[in-house]
């Protein structure tokens, strides 16, 4: 997947939920959005990006949300 596109999309999602005062909840909302609407290969790619680079192009909130998704293997590409 196109990493640049995914980073931009993830930051857009973060910007929406980031408007809420409770930042912990905002992190959860971003993570939920990614789980609910992103196909697994998209999630794998953004997780890999954070794992490999630390995710410098992501906002703090989004980076935290992506890391929260990274507590187990994402569903693998179906065979």
Partner 1 sequence: MLAISDKDFGTPARLATGPLVELEIDGRPISVPAGTSLLRAAALAGVTVPKLCATDSLEPFGSCRLCLVEIEGRKGYPASCTTTVEPGMKVHTQSGKLSGLRRNVMELYISDHPLECLTCPANGNCEIQDVAAMVGVEDTRYGFAGKNHLALPKDESNPYFTFDPSKCIVCSRCVRACDDTQGTFALTIDGRGFASVISPGQNGPFMESECVSCGACVQACPTNALTEKSLIELGQPERDVVTTCGYCGVGCSFKAEMKGSQVVRMVPNKDGMPNLGHSCVKGRFAWGYATHPDRILKPMIRATIEQPWREVSWEEAIDYAAQGFRRIQQQYGRGAVGGITSSRCTNEETYLVQKLVRAVFHNNNVDTCARVCHSPTGYGLKTAFGTSAGTQDFASVAKADVIMVIGANPTDAHPVFGSIMKRRLRAGARLIVADPRRIDLVKSPHIKADYHLQLKPGTNVALINAMAHVVVTEGLVNEEFVRNRCEAADFALWRRFAAEQRNSPEATEAITGVPAAQVRAAARLYATGGNATIYYGLGVTEHSQGSTMVLGMANLAMATGNVGREGVGVNPLRGQNNVQGSCDVGSFPHELTGYRHISDPVLRVSFEEEWGVHLDPEPGLRIPNMFDAALDGSFKGIYIQGEDIAQSDPDSHHVCAALKAMEMVVVQDLFLNETAKYAHVFLPGSTFLEKDGTFTNSERRISRVRKAVPPLAGYEDWQITIMLAKALGYPMEYSHPSEIMDEIARLTPTFKGVSYEKLERLGSVQWPCNDNAPAGTPVMHVGQFVRGKGKFTITEFLPTDERTGPRYPLLLTTGRILSQYNVGTQTRRTANVVWHNEDRLEIHPHDAEERGIDDGAWVRVSSRVGSISLRALVTDRVAPGVVYTTFHYPETGTNVVTTENSDWATNCPEYKVTAVQVMPVPARRRQTPGHQGTGAEMAAAK
> Which of left, alpha, beta for 23 (phi over 0: left; psi -120 to 50: alpha)?
alpha
Instruction: Rule CB under 8 A: say whether 36 interacts with partner 1.
Output: yes
Burial pattern 8-42, b for ≥16 Cβ within 10 A else e, equals ebbbebbeebbeeeeeeebbebbbebbeeebeeeb
Q: Does 52 bind partner 1 (CB under 8 A)?
A: no
Pick between residue 12 and residue 51 the one whose CB is nearest to partner 1: 12
Q: Is 40 a residue that touches partner 1 (CB under 8 A)? A: yes
Query: What residue ranges bind partner 1 (CB under 8 A)?
Result: 1-2, 5, 8-9, 12-13, 15-16, 18-21, 33, 35-42, 75, 77-79
């Amino acid at each position: 997947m196109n990493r640049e596109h995914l980073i931009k999309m993830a930051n857009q999602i973060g910007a929406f939920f980031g408007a809420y005062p409770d930042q912990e909840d905002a992190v959860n909302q971003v993570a939920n959005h990614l789980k609910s609407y992103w196909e697994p290969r998209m999630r794998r790619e953004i997780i890999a990006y954070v794992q490999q680079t630390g995710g410098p192009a992501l906002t703090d909130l989004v980076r935290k949300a992506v890391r929260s998704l990274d507590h187990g293997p994402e569903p693998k590409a179906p065979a």
